[in-house]
Copies of this chain bind each other. A is one copy, B any other.
Amino acid sequence: MAPRVADVDARREQIGRAAIEIFARDGFQGAAVGDIASLAGLSKGSIYRYFDDKEALFHAAFEAVRMRLLRDCRAAMAEQDRAWDQLAAAVTATVEAFRSYIAIVPLTLEFWAAASAGDTRQRFGTVMADMYREFRELVIALLRQGQAEGDVDADADVEAIAAWLVAGLDGLMLQHWFDPAVDPLAGASSMLSTLRKGATNASQI
A160 touches B174 (CB 8 A): no
Residues on B with beta carbons closer than 8 Å to the beta carbon of A159: 186
Residues on B with beta carbons closer than 8 Å to the beta carbon of A199: 194, 197-198
Q: Given A163-B175, A170-B171, A174-B112: A118 and B196 within 8 A (CB)?
A: no
CA distance A125 to B187 in the complex (A): 21
Give how many A residues have a beta carbon under 8 Å from the other chain's beta carbons.
Answer: 59
- Chain A binding site: helix, strand, loop or mixed by DSSP? helix
Q: Is A29 an interface residue (CB 8 A)?
A: yes
Residues on B with beta carbons closer than 8 Å to the beta carbon of A119: 30
The minimal Cβ–Cβ distance linking A201 to chain B, given in whole angstroms, is: 9
Q: Is A56 an interface residue (CB 8 A)?
A: no
Against B, the Cβ 8 Å flags (1 = close, 0 = not) of A118-138 are: 110000010011001100100
B164 touches A30 (CB 8 A): no
15 additional contacts (CB under 8 A) given A29-B118, A164-B188: A27-B116, A27-B117, A30-B118, A106-B116, A112-B174, A157-B190, A161-B190, A164-B187, A167-B174, A168-B168, A169-B171, A170-B171, A170-B174, A194-B195, A197-B197
- CB-CB nearest 8 A-B residue pairs: A167-B171, A198-B198, A160-B190, A113-B113, A194-B198, A29-B29, A30-B118, A197-B198
Task: Give me the interface of A with B, judged by CB distance under 8 Å.
Answer: 23-27, 29-30, 105-106, 109-110, 112-119, 125, 128-129, 132-133, 136, 157, 159-161, 163-164, 166-172, 174-175, 177-179, 182-183, 186-191, 193-199, 204
